[in-house]
Amino acid sequence: MKHIRSIFFILAALLVGGPSIHGQGTPDVKKVLIPHTSWNCGMAEGIPAPESGTVVFEAQMQIENIYVVGKTPYGNRQVVVIKDGVLSGPKLTGSVTTGALDFELKLSNGVIEIEQILVLKTTSGQYIYLRTAGTGENANDVRVVMDFEAPTASEFAWLNSGKYVARRVVNAAAKTMTLRVYDVSGVALTTNSSNVIRIAKPSGVPEQPWDYRKAAPGEKQGTLLITESVTLSPSLRVGATKRGVNRNIIPITGGDVTGRITGKVLPGGADYQNLTAPATIDAKYLWQTSDGEVIVVRNGGPFGSLVPSFEVRTDGPYAWLNTGSYLSSNPGPAAGGVGITMYDSVR
């Protein structure tokens, strides 16, 4: 069966070939991929080929937009916003909710790093939070590690344990993304020198962060940076999951940005809250400036100590955002959602 699944993947990749396809080619499914220490994907010991496991489900997603941010401090950044999707498979069926984000980073040596944030809705109406991390030596063999947060009191609590790896195929021309997820919990790793692929990264390139920046002692709000009004959809409550997390998700549907930057909040992303005391915010979304630049925004931390950070192309008019330090107000009520003010940080 494993051999058949490998052939299926290879044929599928060849059938959808073309320059707009990411995830095409023939991966070496016999080798273990050792991720770089800076982006270990939660499987620092090695990521087996997904096809060596058993299929859990497949997500067929429609793409709303693909935003090419450009060359940022970490590499060439592209962000995909998902319109919606359908889950099918022997162990999980349902949908992918609107506004899921897929962040792709391509380094100068061809290495790919992936981060995805999705919310799944099962056919029984329960929500599952999913954040993934993937990597590959090139686009032909990208392996994406799944980290599920399912309600611990639900029939899907089994997703909170085990090991899951996926194949991701993006077809920009057809505006589709496929994520085929496999359970690799029972796959033995053989990591001798002839059986591994080691991810190497160019020297001198900053490592993209996995977590948001934490405020340092003595930081204070300085000059006003921007004021934003963010519109929201109703909360998607996951509830108690693993690691002591009480997950609540508030999707972002749009908004406006004024101040030293003017533009709009793009639909997509959310505030991925953890309501376990002390409650924390972790919002990740996009701005588009009035002159067309796309800025990746992350605003996270406990209430009263929110820290925003930004990623934007280094040769653009807003490159200064990449190196500054900033603080944020708490969200306050605004028409259709919340209002937030961000400031320069001073010490």
- Please tell me the predicted confidence (pLDDT) of residue 192: 87
Q: Do domains 2-198 and 220-346 have the same CATH topology?
A: yes
Q: pLDDT, tens digit, for every residue of 208-236?
A: 999 999 999 999 999 999 999 999 999 99
- Please tell me the predicted confidence (pLDDT) of residue 21: 54
Q: Are 281 and 300 in contact (CB under 8 A)?
A: yes
Give the span between the Cα atoms of 228 and 266, in whole angstroms: 12
Give the span between the Cα atoms of 325 and 237, in whole angstroms: 32
- Please tell me the predicted confidence (pLDDT) of residue 23: 55
Say if residue 17's pLDDT is above 50: no
Q: In the structure, what pLDDT confidence band is assigned to residue 29 with cuts at 50, 70 and 90? A: confident
CATH of domain 220-346: 2.40.160.20
What residue spans define the domains of the chain? 2-198, 220-346
pTM over 0.95: no
- How many other CB atoms are found less than 10 A from the CB of residue 217? 5
Which of 265, 228, 208, 268 lies closest to 66 in space, CA to CA?
Answer: 268
Give the span between the Cα atoms of 138 and 200, in whole angstroms: 11
Give the span between the Cα atoms of 325 and 197, in whole angstroms: 37
Give the span between the Cα atoms of 294 and 288, in whole angstroms: 5
Q: 2-198 has which fold?
A: Porin (2.40.160)
Q: pLDDT, tens digit, for every residue of 295-319?
A: 999 999 999 999 999 999 999 999 9
Give the bridge partners for 53, in sequence order.
Answer: none
Give the bridge partners for 228, in sequence order.
Answer: 257, 340
